[in-house]
Amino acid sequence: MEIKKVGILGAGTMGLGIAQTTAMAGYKTVLFDIQKYALDNAEVVITKNLDKGIEKGKVTEALKASTLENLTFTDHFDNLESDLVIEAALEKLDLKKSLFKNLEELNGAETILASNTSSIPITQIGAELKHPNRFLGIHFFNPAHIMKLVEIISGVATDPAVVQSILKFVESLGKVGVLAKDAPGFIVNRVARHFYVESLKVLEEGVADHKNIDSLIKSVGFKMGPFELMDLIGVDTNFAVTSSMYNAFHQDPKFRPNRIQEQKVVAGHHGRKSGKGFYDYEK
């Protein structure tokens, strides 16, 4: 189960962050997306991240050069033939199932396939695969090149040896791997969902505005308030995860998506990446 080449499917915020992480760790990395502009943006963002790391003294010029040398940006699906492929596409079950069916046809039986899903049960995604024993979840957190925690989620059919192999891989990235069983939201998103949902309820009920809620939360030790964090993650991404978990838990009211957040998504106010979310940002 030696991993030398890593394929990343999806060049959005999470995909590009994962690609930067694996390339910095010395793995040949292929970042795929069907949208050329997404690939161009990913290259720009990764370069800026590396330059920022140099400014802070955490990245050397040599590491920047080797990272970019390890990276390939492509819109050709066939280039995803790898030892490990990590999917970082939209949180839609049907889409993910279709993508993994195609990935399995492209790759050999020894390739490990993984989803970066935040909330969809791994067993559901891999139910129709020919080799579900080599399929699991590898859930990074945003920003992936900085955040240390990675959840490793086993499906019902996942081979324990594959899990151990991925645990070593995650550790080789300088991350901390936590093993989780297959359940909606896994560990972090299940626990943290109420951090967002309850904050949105407080806003919706007019108890306080989003700035005061963020200030209060930070005053008790959190580095970011819930609305700042939603803007960083992506308001659309956060809403999609909440919606997914709400349905996965059979519309349990405690996971109900919030209308204020839904309005932000419809308006295109997705946070930092769009220039406007709960706060305004310079583009």
Residue type, 23: A
Angle (nearest 5°) at CA 18 between 129 and 69: 110
Catalytic member of 70, 107, 119, 189: 189
Q: State the catalytic residue, choosing from 91, 104, 151, 228.
A: 151
* Residue owning tokens 């910095």: 24
φ, ψ dihedrals at 28, nearest 5°: -65, 125
The two beta strands, 149-154 and 135-140, are antiparallel
DSSP letter, residue 271: B
Q: In what order do the strands lie in the sheet with 28-32?
A: 71-74, 28-32, 5-9, 84-87, 112-115, 135-140, 149-154, 176-180
Of 148, 151, 153, nearest to 21 by C-alpha is 148
**Number of helical (H) and strand (E) elements in the chain, helices listed first:** 11, 8
Smallest CA-to-CA distance from 264 within 255, 254, 275 is with 275
Beta carbons of 123 and 129 less than 8 angstroms apart? no
- 118: annotated active-site residue: yes
Structure token digits, residue 256: 């109900």
**Does the annotation mark 139 as catalytic?**
yes
Active-site option among 70, 116, 118, 154: 118
| 3-state SS, residue 14 | helix
Catalytic residue, candidates 131, 139, 145, 270? 139
Give every CB contact of residue 22 below 8 A, 6+ residues apart in sequence.
Answer: 6, 8, 29, 70, 173
Which residues are catalytic, by number? 118, 139, 151, 189
